[in-house]
Each structure stands twice: as C-alpha cells, then as structure tokens.
Amino acid sequence: METRPDPKAPASDVTYGSYLKLDELLACQAPMSGVHDEMLFVVIHQASELWMKLCLHELEAARTAIIEDRLGTAFKMMSRVARIQTQLIQSWEVLATITPADYSAMRAGLGSSSGFQSHQYRALEFMLGNKSAAMVELHVATPGVHALLADALVRPSLYDEALRLLARRGFAIPDDRLDRDFSQPYKASPEVETAWREVYRNPETWWDLYELAEKLVDLEYHFQLWRFGHLKTIERIIGFKRGTGGTAGVPYLARVIDQIFFPELLTVRLAL
C-alpha cells in the first residue's frame, strides 16, 4: 500500500529525505552479480518505471479531461508526457555505455526477468491503443497486476476518447468506432480520416481539435523514438542474441516499431 507523509505532522518534522522516503528508495537497488555495471542497469530500469508511473498518472487525467471536453487541461498533461518520453529516450544513451562483456558477466543473475514483463509499459501501450489480451495473461500469477491490466484492456484508449469527442462536436464518426470491443486493437476507418481531414484543412475553425491531433502525434512520435532507442541499445549490447526471459530480442523490437497507434493522423497527411 502506498504511504504518504502525514498532512497533520508539523512542517518542522518533514525533511527532504522523509518527504521523498529516500531511505526506502535508495535501498531498492540490490545488484546480484557483483559486476560493477549492474548498478547502472538497475538504476536505469527503476528510474524508467518511475517515469512510466508518471506518464500513466498524466495520461489517465488527460483521458478524463478529453471526456469532459477540457482540452486545455489535457494538452498540458499530454505535453508533459512527451517531455517525460524525452527523458526515457535519453536513458538509452546512458545504458548503452554497458559493453557486451559487462552485460555477459551479469546476465546470468537476471534469471528469467525481462523488460517484456513490465506491466506499466503494457498499460501505457493499452492507453495508446495497442491492445492484446495475451499480454494480460502473462501476469495471471500476479492477481493485482492482472486485474489492473484487465481493466486497462477493456477501457477506451486515449484515441478512442478523442474520436468520441469528434462525434460530440458533430463529425460523422462511424458507430462501430464509438461503441466497440475496446479490448481489440483499433482499426483505421476512412470516415475517421475524413473527419481529421476537415480538422486539418480548417484549423482556424477547429483549433482545439487540431491541437489535440498534434498532441497525439507528438506522443506517438516520442513513443516510437523510445522503441527505436531500445532496439539500437539492445542491438549494440547483445547483438542478435535472444533476450532474457526467452524473448526474441532485436527481431521482436524491430517488429513492434512498425505498430501505429493513431493511423488516420498519419494517413491524413497524404490527403492534404
């Protein structure tokens, strides 16, 4: 259970360390191999999980703001996430300083663990629309995580709510895009592209929707850069070996780069 500072405690009792729970936080790094570079490996991944926690916090609020037609609020949160994604992208530059020999020396200590198992990463993908029931079942042995992902799987994504907003503004969005099985990946629609084309051709009339579209494109752009950075870092450190936990490694990462979250926001550019 998450604990927070007691709001009734005297201000004089709250210190930098107690507010941030630094004793607990700094005790979380426990390298297992004795290899010097494992500390870097642990810190990068733990920091990434904290950044992803913040991304989910912001995007949950942004989705609610879109539902309530408070787009200015949503834009603030989406812009913040894009800046957080920049931090995540830059982290690959630091991780890439691990050499193949360093990684090989500590790899056995990682056991079957793999970034593929990160439930927060999976929740982020679900938020952006890349749904997969199979990825939920990977966490069946962890009931709390499984329930969290099962709920995220069936909820409308950020893009689903953007399309519902377009419909509320009078655009002809097909019913099968507004009320569907949201556990399934989104499929592109010519009618949705037509709606976005109207927005892009008349930004003065639909400025907030135009800005919403560009905020979504910005999120996808940075997410793809993050994926590409992951690919190139793994390629640099282990080449084409299989990843930990039995994952395919570089070939798998190369495939997911081709996944698109908001297809009409890319294809509409061909029609302008």
Binding residue ranges for substrate? 41-45, 103, 107, 244
For the annotated binding site for heme, the residues are 230
For the annotated binding site, the residues are 41-45, 103, 107, 230, 244
DSSP for the chain, please give it: ------TTS-GGG--HHHHHTHHHHHT----SS--TTHHHHHHHHHHHHHHHHHHHHHHHHHHHHHHTT-HHHHHHHHHHHHHHHHHHHHHHHHHTTS-HHHHHHHHGGGTT--GGG-HHHHHHHHHHT---HHHHHTTTTSHHHHHHHHHHHHS--HHHHHHHHHHHTT----HHHHSS-TTSPP---HHHHHHHHHHHH-TTTSHHHHHHHHHHHHHHHHHHHHHHHHHHHHHHHHTTSPPGGG---HHHHHHHTT--S-HHHHHGGG--
